[in-house]
Amino acid sequence: MPTPIEDYALLSDCRTAALVSRDGSIDWFCAPRYDSPSIFGALLGDAEHGHWMLRPADPDATSTRRYDGDTFVLVTRWQTATGVAEVHEFLAADEPTTTLIRRIRGVSGSVEFAQTVRFRFDYARARPWVRQVGTKEAPALLAAAGPEAVVVRGARLRPIDHAHHGTSTVGEGDTIDLSMIWFPSYTATPDPVDADALLEDTWAQWSDWAATISHRGVHQDRVIRSLLVLRALTHADTGGIVAAATTSLPEAFGGSRNWDYRYVWLRDAALTLEALTDHGFLEPADHWRQWLLRAIAGDAKDTQIMYGIAGERDLTERELTSLPGYGGAAPVRVGNGAVGQYQADVAGEVFVALEAAKLAGLADDPQAW
């Protein structure tokens, strides 16, 4: 049986996302954008389709987890027969290349962690070339295939049957920082990062944003988390708001209605803007209005109901055979044929959202009318 969807936690840097299971496995990760080909695709198959597992070697270890305050820094606390340890993990905010940090911190006793990485680039269609590029004191593993590459640092990993494995032990007060940085394969390998600084900056950015939420009523915690998720799905550079961070999760288990939602539907984005505007956020509305003006440029009759994250028009739908689907629900699709549909309510939804933003104080743009 696949991991239940509700057992995944979301990490985001407002450019892409990763899904982490309760067992400590990153089973979905695309870089550098939400709609990029997957590097870890076990969500739509199994471990052989790519994942990054980090958990205690003790098979009887138990865990609890939470987000660290109003952020997307995930904290998983592991209890084992020999001790207690935590994993703090996040996608770093505002880094020039996508950077994923997994920090192991010893709480009490001693805990041995096992790590397994299976790189499966391009929706599990490409097994990359992998080689050691670090030193004994500073191990680093470089994986590259076609236009993309990642470098993993922090622990020695050894190859076994197209996967890389390693163990690390932490005692009380010990810290081990693991990092994975995505970068174009034709550029220089990025330097090691300062995990302390990245954690501080990322925590502060999410916390500062959440602190400005105007809601102080019923269900406050749930409202704040919901708004954080909407922010996590808003691309920091383009302003495009994706409907979801995933593709091909089935509407019904085992069914074929499996669509790619990593794009910007005008209706969905408009409803998201209304929610953000209602809680005092005008900057995302302005950013998305700029995105909209670029996306719909040209003849009004050619306006689509959806676009790519940067306003791309060509979202041709196709099926992949390299991933068997969530729980066997096939086919797995990328792109979305809905791009060619006509949906009569879309223009109205957009006008309503922008009018609400204007009434909330968003300044007029002379280009926008």
pLDDT of the residue at 369: 75
- pLDDT tens by residue, the chain, 369 residues: 789 999 999 999 999 999 999 999 999 999 999 999 999 999 999 999 999 999 999 999 999 999 999 999 999 999 999 999 999 999 999 999 999 999 999 999 999 999 999 999 999 999 999 999 999 899 999 999 999 999 999 999 999 999 999 999 999 999 999 999 999 999 999 999 999 999 999 999 999 999 999 877 789 999 999 999 999 999 999 999 999 999 999 998 888 899 999 999 999 999 999 999 999 999 999 999 999 999 999 898 899 999 999 999 999 999 999 999 999 999 999 999 999 999 999 999 999 999 999 999 999 888 777
CA pair distance 298, 326, nearest whole angstrom: 39
pLDDT of the residue at 252: 86
**Amino acid letter for position 71:** T
Q: Are 343 and 306 in contact (CB under 8 A)?
A: no
CA pair distance 50, 47, nearest whole angstrom: 5
Concatenated DSSP letters of 120-136: -HHHHTBPPEEEE-S-S
pLDDT of the residue at 2: 87
Angle between helix axes 346-359 and 266-278 (nearest 10 degrees) is 20
- b or e along 136-162 (b: 16 or more beta carbons within 10 Å of the residue's beta carbon)? eeebbbbbbbeebbbbbbbbbbeeeee
Helix (H) or strand (E) holding 63: strand 62-67
CA pair distance 156, 165, nearest whole angstrom: 8
Residue 149 half-sphere exposure, CB side, CA atoms within 13 Å? 18
Tokens describing residue 233: 């799905």
